[in-house]
Chain A
Amino acid sequence: MTFTEIKKTKSYQTVLDGIWRDHPISSMVLGICSALAVSNTVANAIAMGAGVTFVLVATAVLISGLRKIIPRRVRMITYMIVIASFVIVVDKVLKAYFPEISESIGPYVGLIITNCIIMGRAEAFYSQNNVFHSVLDSVSNGFSYTYTLVAIAIVREILGFGTLLGFQVMPDSFPKWVVISMAPGAFFVVSLFIWITRTLAKVESD
């Protein structure tokens, strides 16, 4: 297959939608709570991104596999239970192997359940597509969520703590911008990120 042919396949379109055109954070503005709250250090961002990606992929497999069996009227609550079960797995794994990260993320792990990316993709995509395309979609959405979180976290960790993944990167004379690592900084950095990506992608909002 040539590249132009690949471009027309559904798989390619799905991946492209996930990582750029329908970027979950900047274009659809989903999953903002955790993007704001957990992006203060890179380690937290990676843990959160991995957790969300795992839940997304697992949910995609289960929901798209069972999409013909789940009755329409109770589909929302079914998605909730499926998502919540996988979130428990993530929570326990973090607690067992990465106690420090688990401590600093705290309740936000549990709040993956209400992360609208997962619910949104389950309702819009996994309930109507086969397992293969759903997994592609979940991986690309999870990936773009993770790289966004990490990009925001890199800016915030360098400016707020002067470190990167815990290693000092700024000279000692660098005054730490403490406010960037707190809530207001999260708002400012994320809004700048949205501004930049929306300008590049020419997304407009009414």
Chain B
Amino acid sequence: MAINLLMIFIAAVLTQNIAFTYLLGMCPFISLSKSLRTASGMGFAVIFVVTLTALINWPIYNYILVPLNSELIYYIVFIIVIAGTVQLVEMIMEKFFPVLQAAFGIFLPLITVNCTVLAVSLFMVIRSYNYLQSVVFAFGASVGWIIAIVIVAAINEKLALVGDIPKGMKGPGIIMTIAGILSLAFLGFAGMVTV
């Protein structure tokens, strides 16, 4: 059991990295990976929200939607849960943790449209994980995402200092090329674990 959980975690972080293998969460990835600070701020916010929504969505799907035979509307339910959770977290942070709010509060509203969050909940249903597996998978996938965005942001920051990048390639173009090279590197992890 513990080994199975560890495998799910390693697969989610490395072999099936959500950014480099499934190509998810690219919009914030491209707009925020200009500086390391914002990238890691967004990354931590994603870890928090992804894990939390998986914790909430799993029981809703398995104990409410499945017994009622209403799996049809799970897209709507998931997206409302995500939007609601983000709003709630924002309010709680504003009230009780102003320091945290200052650190990554501005990223929270953006997370609702970060496809990583919804994708993790959808994968959890498609692969019919149990509760513990879902939570470990959600945590692993978001850790994988922060690793991806932090590496790309760091490279991009250094590149901006020395880079002689063609005009049309500046911004999104070069970020995607960096991501492509890194994604080649992450292919090297394939076969490490199979899930």
A88 touches B76 (CB 8 A): yes
Measured CB to CB, the closest approach of chain A to B115, in angstroms, equals 4
B179 touches A187 (CB 8 A): yes
B76 touches A194 (CB 8 A): no
B177 touches A191 (CB 8 A): yes
B75 touches A32 (CB 8 A): no
Across the interface, which residues of B come within 8 angstroms of A147, CB to CB? none
Q: Taking the complex as formed, is B20 at the interface, i.e. its CB lies under 8 A from any CB of chain A? A: yes
Candidates B114, B115, B180; contact of A187 at CB < 8 Å = B180
Across the interface, which residues of B come within 8 angstroms of A85, CB to CB? 76
Candidates A36, A179, A194, A197; contact of B23 at CB < 8 Å = A36
Q: Taking the complex as formed, is B54 at the interface, i.e. its CB lies under 8 A from any CB of chain A? A: no
B166 touches A195 (CB 8 A): yes
Candidates B26, B75, B122; contact of A33 at CB < 8 Å = B26
Q: How large is the interface on B (under 10, 10 to 19, 20 to 34, 35 or more residues)?
A: 35 or more
- Given the known interface contacts A88-B72, A206-B171, the answer about A36 and B26 at a Cβ–Cβ threshold of 8 Å is yes
Across the interface, which residues of A come within 8 angstroms of B183, CB to CB? 183-184, 187
Q: Taking the complex as formed, is B119 at the interface, i.e. its CB lies under 8 A from any CB of chain A? A: yes
Residue of B nearest to A185 (CB): B180
Q: Taking the complex as formed, is B7 at the interface, i.e. its CB lies under 8 A from any CB of chain A? A: no
Q: Taking the complex as formed, is B24 at the interface, i.e. its CB lies under 8 A from any CB of chain A? A: yes
A29 touches B30 (CB 8 A): yes
Q: Taking the complex as formed, is A37 at the interface, i.e. its CB lies under 8 A from any CB of chain B? A: yes
Measured CB to CB, the closest approach of chain B to A68, in angstroms, equals 23
Instruction: Convert B137-172 into 0s and 1s, putting 1 for each residue whose CB lies closer than 8 angstroms to a CB of A.
Output: 000000000000000000000000000001111111
Across the interface, which residues of A come within 8 angstroms of B173, CB to CB? 191, 194-195, 198
B21 touches A77 (CB 8 A): no
Q: Taking the complex as formed, is B14 at the interface, i.e. its CB lies under 8 A from any CB of chain A? A: no
Residue of B nearest to A119 (CB): B113
- Given the known interface contacts A81-B80, A87-B75, A188-B177, the answer about A29 and B24 at a Cβ–Cβ threshold of 8 Å is no
B31 touches A29 (CB 8 A): yes
Tell me the bound Cα distance from A107 to B75 in angstroms.
11
Instruction: Convert A123-150 into 0s and 1s, putting 1 for each residue whose CB lies closer than 8 angstroms to a CB of B.
Output: 0000000000000000000000000000
Tell me the bound Cα distance from A205 to B156 in angstroms.
14
Candidates B20, B75, B113, B170; contact of A110 at CB < 8 Å = B75
Tell me the bound Cα distance from A179 to B190 in angstroms.
13
A184 touches B119 (CB 8 A): no
Measured CB to CB, the closest approach of chain B to A91, in angstroms, equals 8
A37 touches B23 (CB 8 A): yes
A107 touches B123 (CB 8 A): yes
- Given the known interface contacts A194-B168, A205-B170, the answer about A84 and B79 at a Cβ–Cβ threshold of 8 Å is yes
B184 touches A179 (CB 8 A): yes
Q: A33-B23, A85-B76 are in contact. List 20 more A-B contacts (CB 8 A).
A: A29-B27, A33-B25, A36-B26, A77-B80, A80-B79, A80-B80, A111-B118, A183-B22, A183-B23, A184-B180, A184-B183, A187-B176, A187-B177, A188-B176, A191-B173, A191-B177, A194-B172, A194-B176, A197-B168, A204-B170
